[in-house]
Structure 1
Amino acid sequence: MTAILYVGHDPINLQLLRSLLHKKFPHITLMEATNGVEAVQQAQLHLPKLVIVDIQLPVMEEYTIPAQLQQHLPHTDMSVWAVSGFAMDQDVVRAFEAGFGRYFTKPLHLFSFVRQLRRELSS
């Protein structure tokens, strides 16, 4: 089973990802977490191939999620991507320095996002 873990608390963003995966990647299981603490717990239980983090989460500062996952799951090769409405250069740099492998700004350019998902899921 190939799984993606989405970490976010906005129901509209979650529904968009659900619809996108259902249409383009029906074989993918989508797991959900509303904050970083739940994300680490879900990742430990299910070992998703990809974790997509919506920046601006409650409870745990979202920029710590890649390090938390690495600490709790040091021998896995899951990718961690950021999705954010923040588009300034310093926001992107901060995300990469925190350990995110990719950074997508909202509104998502769906063609590019799907292309990157295909690459990630086929590797």
Structure 2
Amino acid sequence: MESKSMLYIGQDPINLQLVRYLLSKKFPHIELIQVGSSDEAMSKLGEDSPALVLVDIQLPITEEYTIPDKLKQQADHESTPIWAVSGCVMEQDIIRAYQSGFDRYFTKPLHLLSFTHHLRRELDG
């Protein structure tokens, strides 16, 4: 199977540990690359071409909402799927995420069966 990577942008150690564990058990062929900010992500994208970008949106920080636009401005990454995971469950938060360019939005706590299903379709599809 082709080697792929997933870029995780976020600073929550528990969420990072969960994603790392899920990938190790269900997607061992996917390398997890973790960065803490959008600036680090843009730098990392110059070096790598991840199959998926997962952004952990943390309140009150809102810089995460600019990531899809920044990413899609780069020709090599304009079609890279960008997913958000957030504890924000209000309808306006979800709408804002999609309007900002996220392709999928998952709320915390993650429903692991659903999340794994979508990962499988995206990464192994």
TM range (shorter): over 0.9
Q: Superposition pairs for residues 24-103 of structure 1, below 5 Å?
A: 24-56=26-58, 61-71=63-73, 73-76=74-77, 77-103=79-105
State the alpha-carbon separation in 1 of the partners of residues 44 and 22 from structure 2: 21
Asked if 1:118 is matched to 2:120, the reply is: yes
AA aligned opposite 2:67 = I
Percent sequence identity is 55
AA aligned opposite 1:85 = G
State the Cα RMSD in Å: 1.6
**Equivalences, count:** 122
Q: Secondary structure at the match of 1:78?
A: coil
What TM-score, normalized to structure 2?
0.92
Q: Is the CA contact 2:42–2:71 (under 8 Å) kept in the aligned structure 1?
A: yes
State the alpha-carbon separation in 1 of the partners of residues 42 and 104 from structure 2: 19
Deviation at 1:82, TM superposition (A): 0.3
What TM-score, normalized to structure 1?
0.93
Structure 1 residue runs of 5 or longer lacking an equivalent are: none
> 4+ residue runs of structure 1 moved beyond 4 angstroms?
57-60
